[in-house]
Amino acid sequence: MKNSLNLSKISINHSESKGRIFKENFSQTRSEYQRDRDRVLHSAAFRRLKHKTQVFVSHEGDHYRTRLTHSLEVSQIARSICRIFNLNEDLAETLSIAHDIGHPPFGHAGEEALKKLMSKHDGFDHNDQAIRIVHLLEKKYFDFDGLNLTWETLEGLVKHNGPIMKEVPPTILKLNSEFDLELKEYPSLEAQIASISDDIAYNNHDIDDGLRAGFFTYSDLKDLPLIGEIIDNLPKNFETRDIQRINNEITRRSTNLMISDIIMNIEKNINNEKITIINQIRGLDKPVVNFSNEMKSKVDSVRKFLSTRMYSHDSINDMSKNAHDIITFLYNFLINAEDSILKELKIDLNRDDSKNRIICDFIAGMTDNYARKIYEKYS
């Protein structure tokens, strides 16, 4: 796919950065953003995404997405869009693989449980938790805690959902006081692309997973904008083919249509706003990277359908209730546990955090499998 723009002049330059909190020597073989990507990729928190729920818990089936495979799919989409415009692929990839690193076990059910449990202790937010991980909790280097990522990567992670105009979560607030991330401004094109690639990935792979799980059928999708149009253009006997081929054809075409729309809209927005320097992107009151109004309406319809037919399905609700019960038990048990148990679980209470936050960090870092294992052992 070709475009008429080369946006390298308003991308994040591979050889420049506003720096890191702890100064380090430059690498002779990798850009600063390659180093950021590699640090996330080799982190323990990233590896644990392999066994963290996207929608289905891991034991439900080997072919359903996990947080890890979802993050890799987001990365592929973001890199593809960035390459079209000659943007910084390494930065977009870093943000893509790190954007879900703060999610607790059992997906959104786990997050809702921790939010409730931590409501009187500065709360819980998976985006804030991602910053805790990359800035504080990873312990890999002699000279500092965290991964010491660049300003541009931290900015993109903090503003994954856009500028923070209202209440700022505690970790982000503290980090911002040390390393001004310009919270009220939009982030780089690369960060905006990584964010919308997340939307593209989960809308399409949830259609695939929902069909595979039997939550809905091809007939159910025929009246849906975008997906229904794609199904109408499949061969008449398509349902006689293997489900894997059918689903791939549907999600492949849908993903391509969404990406094509994004590319055209980026060009349109850049031209309309006459953007020539990156500060213009940051100073706008709206994102540069978004769907056209027509595509947004279609994507919203897909999202609404999935919310009704998949995310609210009885089996998902049952899994969510079970997850909520497990997380609640673990939190209350560990808050009141004897020191010998905390020591056995390698929970370090000698930190500048409240016990509630330390226990929350420990639970948020668990995989689904480990959370169930500890629950079964002590319940």
Q: Mind giving me the DSSP string for 31-88?
A: -HHHHHHHHHHTSHHHHHGGGSBSSS-GGG-TTS-BHHHHHHHHHHHHHHHHHHTT--
CB distance 52 to 101 below 8 Å? no
For the chain, the average pLDDT equals 92
Q: For tokens 């702890």, name the residue.
A: 22
Give the closest residue to 307 by CA, choosing from 319, 299, 318: 299
pLDDT of residue 319: 86
For residues 38 and 166, which has the higher predicted lDDT (pLDDT)? Answer: 38
Q: Is residue 272 pLDDT above 80, yes or no?
A: yes
Q: What is the mean pLDDT of residues 333-358?
A: 93
CB distance 118 to 124 below 8 Å? yes
CB distance 320 to 368 below 8 Å? no
- Fold assignment, 29-315: Hypothetical protein af1432 (1.10.3210)
Tokens of residue 342, six digits: 């905390």
- pLDDT band at 123; cut points 50, 70, 90: very high
Residue 223 DSSP SS3: coil
What pLDDT, in 10s, does the model give residues 189-236? 999 999 999 999 999 988 998 898 889 999 999 999 999 999 999 998
pLDDT of residue 62: 59
Distance CA 363, CA 51 (A): 14
Q: Is residue 371 pLDDT above 70, yes or no?
A: yes
Distance CA 260, CA 214 (A): 29
Distance CA 210, CA 232 (A): 19
**How far is the first Cα of the chain from the last one, in angstroms, to the nearest whole number?**
55
Q: What is the mean pLDDT of residues 65-90?
A: 94
CB distance 51 to 366 below 8 Å? no
Q: What is the mean pLDDT of residues 244-271?
A: 95
Q: Is residue 312 pLDDT above 90, yes or no?
A: no
Lowest mean pLDDT segment, chosen from 62-66, 124-128, 321-325, 369-373 = 62-66
Q: What is the mean pLDDT of residues 33-40?
A: 97
Region of 155 on the Ramachandran plot (φ > 0 left; ψ -120 to 50 alpha; else beta): alpha
Q: Is residue 12 pLDDT above 50, yes or no?
A: yes
